[in-house]
Amino acid sequence: MVKAPGPKGHLLVGVLPEFRKDPAGFLETMAREYGDVVYIPLGRQHIYYLGHPDAIRDVLVTHQNKFKKSRMLERARVLLGDGLLTSEGEHHRRQRRLVQPAFHRDRLAGYGAVMVERTAVVRDQWQPGQPFDVLQEMMRLTLAIVAKTLFSTDVDSEADDIHAALTEVFGLFEIILMPFSEILEKLPLPSVRRFKRARQRLDETIYRLIAERRAQGGDAGDLLSMLLLAQDEEGSGGMTDKQVRDEALTLFLAGHETTANALTWAWYLLSQNPEAEATFHAELDRVLGGRLPSFEDLPQLRYTESIFAETLRTFPPAWGIGRRALEDFPVGEFVIPARSVVLMSPYVVHRDPRWFPDPTSFRPERWLEEHPTRPKFAYFPFGGGARVCIGERFAWMEGTLLLAAIGQRWRLRLERGHRVETHARITLRPKYGMRMIADRRELSR
């Protein structure tokens, strides 16, 4: 068996210190130095990075039954319980079948109307020339959208508290990924107490939504109703409040965090690429003529959608995807031993010049061109296989409509001196937020 190449690292901890500083950047360096299969020692964890689309396809699709979720998703149960993101096997398949109807095409038009309505309210509150954090605004907006579309409720008054709790949870999450974290989380450490307080704040919101819906009764036609009615129909064998909470919290968080990050990066990229921004605005003016966008406009907003696609290529919110091998698994001349973690990174693969010429350039038009030779898994911002993101179509629609609704009214500029760096933890956030200034724009003639 040929041993995969990779860094030697330090005694006991391997390359854990270097990896924790900048996980996505570190993986990009490893791929550049060692190739498409890299052994990365991270403490007690044996990590194998895979960078070729064919190998990624084998793990996520062709041989997905030979893998289970990675340590990160296993440890995410501390926050998410046994929701779609963390569950396995038959339980995962059952829950996915239950949740799937909430994302069918016949519901998307209604969701789209809510997305645009909420966005119009937010954008109309902005003041020209006043610096603000676009990340925080996008978080607040997408939170309101997922609450209304999937749970038929408003959380506007709680948005800042929920955003603060999420930031706290995501900031501390790396602690529960560390070696011996199962022991650390039982100790009365300040960081552990903060994590538990933030988790409790999120639980308060979700359990309140569940209680309110139970009191109202009936079917509101949303995701929460589906979860609660499934419990009632199955009696004692159905979903407990805890199970409903796990699914609701998973979708509540995943349904806004990733899209908010992607939109934030999109505004940054547009501010740095005036030609793309001009093409974007011209399309909005031509297609919309000053009116708000709608679900029916999506086929005509091709360049706007391409901006979102190119942003997901450049700064994919789900920057890393992990799986644990259930048995020895061959990849070319190498063999990945059973119980090793396979790590695949959209952030790294999307920036590979083999699949994307001039990969560091922001070129939305590349998505309007044909590339028959590009492998399918050269681009996988939503994962793949049985665990592909269930809300992918929701996210594409949301990203396109929100860009259109805001872009037709405002041009965003990065605040002078603002520092922009990636912060790869659970998602790929801008490390220092995204301070920008909004300039009002007029309809071009």
pLDDT-derived band at 238 (thresholds 50, 70, 90) equals: low
Q: Looking at 222-236, 334-348, 350-364, which range is the least confident one?
A: 222-236
Q: How high is the pLDDT of residue 181?
A: 58
As a whole number, mean pLDDT of residues 117-134 equals 95
Q: How high is the pLDDT of residue 186?
A: 65
- In percent, the amount of the chain with pLDDT more than 90 equals 56
Q: How high is the pLDDT of residue 62?
A: 96
Q: How high is the pLDDT of residue 235?
A: 47
- In percent, the amount of the chain with pLDDT more than 70 equals 92
Q: How high is the pLDDT of residue 178?
A: 58
Residue-averaged pLDDT of the chain: 88
Res 161 pLDDT > 90: no
Res 13 pLDDT > 80: yes
Domain ranges, ordered by start, for the chain: 16-440
Higher per-residue pLDDT: 41 or 85: 41
CA distances to 189, 272, 360, 415 from 177, in Å: 16, 35, 31, 35
Give the residue carrying structure tokens 């190998």.
55
Higher per-residue pLDDT: 187 or 124: 124
**For residues 63 and 42, what is the distance between their CA atoms, to the nearest angstrom?**
25
The answer, as to whether pTM is greater than 0.75, is: yes
Q: Looking at 37-41, 84-88, 317-321, 378-382, which range is the least confident one?
A: 84-88
pLDDT digits (tens, 9 = 90+) for 365-395: 999 988 778 999 999 999 999 889 889 999 9
pLDDT digits (tens, 9 = 90+) for 177-236: 555 556 566 667 777 788 888 888 888 888 888 888 888 877 777 888 878 877 545 444
Res 139 pLDDT > 70: yes
Q: CA nearest 151: which of 249, 69, 242, 267?
A: 249
Is residue 299 classed exposed, middle or buried when 0-12, 13-18 and 19+ CB atoms within 10 A define those classes? exposed
Higher per-residue pLDDT: 161 or 55: 55
Query: CATH number for the 16-440 domain, one of 3.40.640.10, 3.90.650.10, 1.10.10.10, 1.10.630.10?
Result: 1.10.630.10
Q: CA nearest 362: which of 259, 443, 431, 272?
A: 272
As a whole number, mean pLDDT of residues 286-310 equals 97
**For residues 41 and 159, what is the distance between their CA atoms, to the nearest angstrom?**
40
CA distances to 60, 334, 352, 381, 388 from 392, in Å: 16, 33, 23, 9, 8
